[in-house]
Structure 1
């Protein structure tokens, strides 16, 4: 089995489009949640909160032809991929078009505005808004396909569309493609655009925060007084590379990806199961040939929903004990759905390199129903750790766990 290095990182989110900006937001304990007044017309929806990227524009050097097939979700993904390839020193490198590089990326759905255009056709027989690129923008694999086309990647394309494990499955399946010898390089991660339709989906489940007059006070992962999640948007992309391939070209290595575990609950669409959550973590540890005490920090899924927070933390505590530091960056960005697994993996790597781990915002009173863990709050935590775990748990009972190991000098 081959070893897998992380040689490039990139993303776009409510806190910025580079790690320096995002780190500044984390250290300032500033969240990106705002009141979405443009949603006021949706009178049946209770929440008005979103983790929006204010004033996002795609890079100026992109051509109109390149943009035609990209809705907002694909723009985020391609932008993050461009940043990650540049970071890896592979932007424009012929290896990307050689067949040795593939793409593994996902989102919950495609661009919702294009879905609305098809709905207009279906409901009212009005096709004026549809064109040759409409389906390409709405299809569930729009992120993976657009990355592959934009950069000319001729290796395998793995589309992942598994709600909030889309990004982490994208990374995990890319890791397996390199580990097992099918590819040398993979562009991988996830993306999501903010949509009132996705907010409404959670609103119907009574799972959204309704603190519409206090956007900075929500979401509140693991907190006794949480009232639900907030939907966000963004994209995260990692460049994974076979270790010897990376070393031969003198690449900078951010970290080594050493473990991936994924499984399913097989019980209920929206009711998470502690046993299989723990099982996914154990699969990642087994894959990495590590014992639980090797992990120094867990990046929690932390959606700020009662069932999710309780099941996740009890599963984590049962495996690692009360000594494990844990926090959730969804308290800063909201729940970025298909992007969260990739963004949180990136943040985990950077925080491990920096030796500082961001706290969970708004965690004032730990829910006594949650598992016993070392919840990172306040000013954050200075820690030197050699391995971090990043976990995600999605609707449909899909569970993922990724383990990254510190790279000397990384």
Structure 2
């Protein structure tokens, strides 16, 4: 196959949308990344605390496109509202109104994503169950987000959710890529949904040793510290991301300029129900993605890692990176700025990688004052110039799920 034919059949990303506590939309989000801005504090959203003081980053406000009526928004959960505005940005950038709606697909990454609102239902109606709103029969299901988004955007191709715990966002991208690759649809959108935690999940995750403690209760800005010796668990951050995947040939016909080529991906499992990570599984995912992309480790010049601040997870991830001979590549930690978006994290971090690729700059890593391995090529407290050619983005999820995605600069 000649290079021109190969380029035309490649999968590319042509639109992105992002909403996070540090900013709504790719412009504000990118600016916050490069400046290392954060929104960490004691969380205030109703249903998030119960005689507790969990630290996290919450979205302060949303700007809604005029096309969505107040009636539509009132009927949506918070996760649904955030998905709507995020998908709207990606949809418009990729000019999807020009596509046959029966040839557009949607994969929503995340399961059990609306827990906070469900807890609020339980508390409000536990003594009067007969009066619970009938819409609860829809909103407690993950598919409600698919139905809500396909209805608002007229999507008529495939639509489903994909659970992968904290790797859900990348699992959605993998499945969307496969849907386009197989010809099921011409365009597929992957949405990493906002996982709306209640105080129940926060408490359980802390008790499990996954979520950070109250060590930095007096200084929330210091609490999120991936890859440092003082880390003690992840710090939650509300966010949502959407990416549009299609073939380069189709994008060229619509004169859409891709962000990057989706050159390789992989999902590898550990056969393990528990939250502890596996170096072997992470290495296998990385090596499989590199092989699919026809890359050597030396070709990768930037890594966007999972990097949560987990006691065991961060060490295991760095071990995996070194075993894959990737210690030369630049590395930073997006979660140090955004917090851990759980089901949304993998999609949001792919978007962070694409925006850095577009800007020719790498964002700083907050609180990286005592890195676990100082020999690695860290981006520290200031953004730096770097033109990414080949990037690797990693995600891991409870239940032994490991994903890796290779992104290549688009030359067109």
Give TM-score scaled by structure 1 length: 0.91
Residue 148 of structure 1: which of 143, 147, 150 is its match? 150
Asked if the contact 2:195–2:342 (Cα under 8 Å) also holds between the matched residues in 1, the reply is no
Change (3 A) 1:307 1:127: farther
SS in structure 1 of the partner of residue 399 of structure 2: coil
Distance 1:373 1:202 in 2: 30
Q: Which residue is equivalent to 2:30? A: 23
Residue 335 (structure 1) aligns with? 340
Deviation at 1:40, TM superposition (A): 8.8
CA distance in 2, matches of 1:108, 1:374: 35
User: Is structure 2 residue 37 aligned with structure 1 residue 35?
Assistant: no
Bigger drift between 340-349 and 246-255 goes to: 246-255
Per the TM alignment, residue 246 of structure 1 is displaced from its structure 2 partner at its CA by: 1.1
In 2, distance between residues paired with 1:141 and 1:340? 20
- Counterpart for residue 299 of structure 1: 304
Instruction: Please report how far the alpha carbon of residue 277 of structure 1 lies from its aligned counterpart in structure 2 after TM superposition.
Output: 0.6
SS for the counterpart of 1:192 is: coil
Report if aligned partners of 1:292, 1:319 keep a CA contact under 8 Å in 2: yes
TM-fit CA distance, 1:379: 0.9
Structure 1 gap ranges (5+): none
* CA-CA distance at 1:342 after TM superposition: 0.6
In the TM superposition, what whole-angstrom CA distance separates every residue of 1:279-301 from its partner, at most 9, and x where no partner exists? 11112112212111111111011
Partner deviation per Cα, 1:46-101 (whole Å, 9 max, x = no partner)? x52111011235434312443354211121112111100111122x33x252x111
Q: List aligned pairs for 1:71-86, cutoff 5 A.
A: 71-86=77-92
Distance 1:195 1:82 in 2: 24
Q: Deviations over 1:4-30 (max 9, x none)?
A: 111111111111122221222122222
Indicate how the Cα distance of structure 1 residues 223 and 360 shifts in structure 2: closer, same or farther if over 3 A, else same.
same
Asked if the contact 1:13/1:233 (under 8 Å) is kept, the reply is yes
Q: Which residue of 1 aligns with 2:14?
A: 7
Residues 110-129 of structure 1: matches in 2 within 5 Å?
110-116=113-119, 119-120=122-123, 124=127, 126-128=129-131
2:364 matched to which residue of 1? 359
Q: In the alignment, is the contact (CA less than 8 A) between 1:72 and 1:193 conserved in 2? A: no
After TM superposition, the structure 1 stretch with the greater mean CA deviation from structure 2, 113-122 or 209-218, is 113-122
CA distance in 2 between partners of 1:266 and 1:24 (Å): 40
Whole-Å Cα distance in 1 between the matches of residues 137 and 397 of structure 2?
25
1:138 Cα deviation (Å)? 2.5
Cα drift, residue 268 of structure 1: 4.0
Distance 1:223 1:70 in 2: 39
Instruction: List structure 1 segments (4+ residues) > 6 angstroms apart after TM superposition.
Output: none
Contact kept? 1:6, 1:241, Cα under 8 Å: yes
The answer for unaligned runs of 5 or more in structure 2 is 1-5
For 1:158 and 1:373, locate their aligned partners in 2 and report how far apart those are by CA, in whole Å: 39
Residue in 1 that maps onto 2:256: 251
SS for the counterpart of 1:147 is helix
Distance, in Å, in 2 between the alignment partners of 1:269 and 1:40 is 25
Distance 1:217 1:114, change over 3 A: closer
Q: Which residue among 80, 100, 105 is the counterpart of 2:103?
A: 100
Q: How many Å separate the matches in 1 of 2:49 and 2:196? A: 16
TM-score (norm 2): 0.91
Larger mean Cα displacement after TM superposition, 271-280 or 175-184: 175-184
Matched, 1:53 2:56: no
**Alignment-derived partner of residue 187 in structure 1:** 189
Task: State which of 382, 406, 411 in structure 2 corresponds to 1:408.
Answer: 411
SS in 1 for 2:188: strand
Contact 1:392-1:401 at 8 Å conserved across structures: yes
Moved more, 64-73 or 359-368: 64-73
The 1:196–1:213 alpha-carbon spacing in structure 2 relative to 1, beyond 3 Å, is farther
Cross-structure match for 2:178 = 176
1:314 aligns with 2:319: yes
Tell me the C-alpha RMSD between the 2 structures.
2.2
SS in 2 for 1:390: strand
Give the CA deviation at 1:137. 2.2
1: CA distance, partners of 2:222 / 2:386: 27
